Amino acid sequence: MGGASAHDVGIQVSNRERLIIALALGITCTLVIIDLFNDSGEGVAYWHVALEASAALSALVGLFLLLRGALSLRRQLDEEIQRSSAYRLEADSWRTQARHYVAGLALAIDQQLGQWKLSNAEKEIAFLLLKGFGLKEIARLRNTSEKTVRTQSAAIYAKAGLTGRSELAAFFLEDLLVPSRNL
């Protein structure tokens, strides 16, 4: 696994594997304890009983650690699900509150793209560029070649009098983002 932490290794063990290991440890512990009771009545050497007792104890410790790790992972998963749900609710709330403004911004951007005399395809690409998609992603989304998207992007920048994606984004967004007073 080369450098994987114990936490990473614990995550890689599936629930089924964890159950199989727990069963094997439980069965091992049970069998060793049964053997210990049989051996104690037969007068087996002390070192033999001690060795079997340590094997049973090792199996119990392993079973305990396995179950404790599983419970810890479950608790972490539940916490992540709660955090994710909270973030999703917050994002949904923000989208709902900002929907009117976002629609107005999209309309204003579309009007500006129209003033630049962009074709419908160029407008679509401009919106995708503003959303942060890369040229390969845009080509895939539009079912065209990356070269075509690159050519259309260059046409967008030329028609707008901009040098590239950064200036395109800044044209529409720089006045929206209020600078921090600490800057």
Return the structure tokens found at 167: 């200036």
Residue 3 belongs to some domain of the structure: yes
CA dist 138 and 152 (Å) reads: 11
Same domain, 71 and 134: no
pLDDT at residue number 38: 83
What does the alpha-carbon distance between residue 106 and residue 112 come to, in Å, rounded to a whole number?
A: 10
Q: Are residues 120 and 169 in the same domain?
A: yes
Distance CA 68, CA 87 (A): 29
Residue 104 lies in a domain: no
Structural domain includes residue 28? yes
DSSP reduced 3-state for 4? coil
Q: State yes or no: pLDDT of 3 exceeds 70.
A: no
Residue 105 lies in a domain: no
pLDDT score for 101 = 82
Give me the pLDDT at residue 1, please: 42
> Are 137 and 86 members of one domain?
no
Q: Look at residue 64 and tell me if it is in a domain.
A: yes
Q: Considering the entire predicted model, what is its pTM?
A: 0.50
Instruction: Verify that 152 and 79 share a domain, yes or no.
Output: no
CA gap 41, 68 in Å, rounded: 35
Instruction: Please give the structure tokens belonging to residue 105.
Output: 């911004």
Q: Is residue 87 a part of any domain in this protein?
A: yes
Pick 114 or 45 by higher pLDDT: 114
How would you class 137 by CB atoms within 10 Å of its CB: exposed for 0-12, middle for 13-18, buried for 19 or more?
middle
**Which tens digit of pLDDT belongs to each residue from 88-98?**
999 999 888 88
Say if residue 86 is in the same domain as residue 6.
Answer: yes
* Number of folded domains that form the chain: 2
Of the residues 98, 126, 155, the one at which a domain ends: 98
Range of the domain at 92: 1-98
Residue 76: pLDDT above 80? yes
Task: Tell me the C-alpha distance between 48 and 35, whole Å.
Answer: 11
Banded pLDDT at 10 (limits 50, 70, 90): very low
Positive or negative, the Cα torsion across 129, 134, 139, 140? negative
